[in-house]
Structure 1
Amino acid sequence: MPHFIAEYSANLQDSVDFQDLFEQVNDFLGNTGVFPLGGIRSRAIRLDQYRVADGKHDYAFVHMTLKVGSGRDLETRQKVATELFAVIEQFFQPLKAERLLAVSFEMTELDPVLNFKSNNIHQFLKNQA
């Protein structure tokens, strides 16, 4: 954990370099000292069926979620979320200057009991060090 998920309107397909966004997000999250690098995952989900506002213009949207494991206090989560949203806003600012775009972000904390994981990446990275 964490998992960063970007859901986006299909009309952004050719306008957003999600790999660049993910590089910035993963670097930021890895450098916070809050999350282990081996647990960070980022992905984008294109949505072909959507409607924004009145549907009369070429509106676009990106909604991002950061799912984190439980156990971090609210102050830590709020600091990470606020700083990550600043990274996101800076990334999308040039596109917002060109078109109608809604950008939203939320952090959610997963249930500590109903969250299951299996991962051999942590050990791999530890062995690389």
Structure 2
Amino acid sequence: MPHLVILYTPNLDRATSDGGADMGALCRELCDAMLAVRDEADRQVFPTGGTRVLAYPAAHSAVSDGGAAGIAAGLGGDYAFVYMNLRMAQGRSAVVHQRVGDALQAVVKAHFAAQLATRPIGITVQVDEGHEVFDAKNSSLHPLFNRN
């Protein structure tokens, strides 16, 4: 943990010049932002080896009214949507929750600035802290970053 899962409409896989977004770059930017978040004692919040960002285009989607309002507004009817859900383990403070949310939101605003200015797009960023009823981990990644 933490895991940030991104679901998005497949029209964002187009070239940026055609209203798309570089989702691979977004994943890297979000991961880097998560790794940079510090707690109140200036410690890194998320373990480097456990931080993951995954993005998936929806195989099927329907957004809003299907494009009618966008067309009427002169923005086109090719709506896009991005849903981001960060799931992290319990135990972090409200300050850390806010810092994480602010960091993700800053990346999102910068990355999607062109789309937000030129096309109908909705973007949701959600941070959840869960109560796990079962939590097993198997990893050979963590030892790479725990060496002294």
TM-score if structure 2 supplies the norm length? 0.79
Verify: 1:42 aligned to 2:62, yes or no: no
- 1:117 is displaced (CA, Å) by 1.8
- 1:110 is displaced (CA, Å) by 2.2
Task: Please tell me the residue identity of whatever aligns with 1:38.
Answer: G
- In structure 2, what is the equivalent of residue 26 of structure 1? 31
Deviations 1:76-106 (A, max 9, x none): 1122112221211111111222211101110
- 1:114 is displaced (CA, Å) by 2.5
Task: Please tell me the residue identity of whatever aligns with 2:34.
Answer: L
Task: Please tell me the residue identity of whatever aligns with 1:34.
Answer: V
Count of residue pairs brought into register by the alignment? 128
- Aligned match for 1:88, one of 108, 128, 137: 108
Partners of 2:139 and 2:97 in 1: how far apart?
A: 23
Structure with higher Rg: it is 2
Partners of 1:54 and 1:112 in 2: how far apart?
A: 37
Task: Please tell me the residue identity of whatever aligns with 2:9.
Answer: S
Is the Cα–Cα contact under 8 Å of residues 8 and 82 in structure 2 kept in the other structure?
A: yes
Verify: 1:5 aligned to 2:25, yes or no: no
- Aligned match for 1:102, one of 97, 122, 125: 122
Task: Please tell me the residue identity of whatever aligns with 2:80.
Answer: A
Partners of 2:138 and 2:116 in 1: how far apart?
A: 39
Verify: 1:75 aligned to 2:86, yes or no: no
Bigger shift: residues 9-18 or 108-117 = 108-117
* Aligned-residue RMSD, C-alpha: 1.5
Task: Please tell me the residue identity of whatever aligns with 2:3.
Answer: H
- 1:74 is displaced (CA, Å) by 2.1
- In structure 2, what is the equivalent of residue 65 of structure 1? 85
Deviations 1:34-69 (A, max 9, x none): 001110111111113111111132111001111111
Is the Cα–Cα contact under 8 Å of residues 88 and 130 in structure 2 kept in the other structure?
A: yes
- In structure 2, what is the equivalent of residue 52 of structure 1? 63
Specify every segment of 5 or more residues in structure 2 that has no aligned partner in the other structure, as ranges.
15-19, 38-43, 68-76
Give the % identical residues. 31
Task: Please tell me the residue identity of whatever aligns with 1:7.
Answer: L
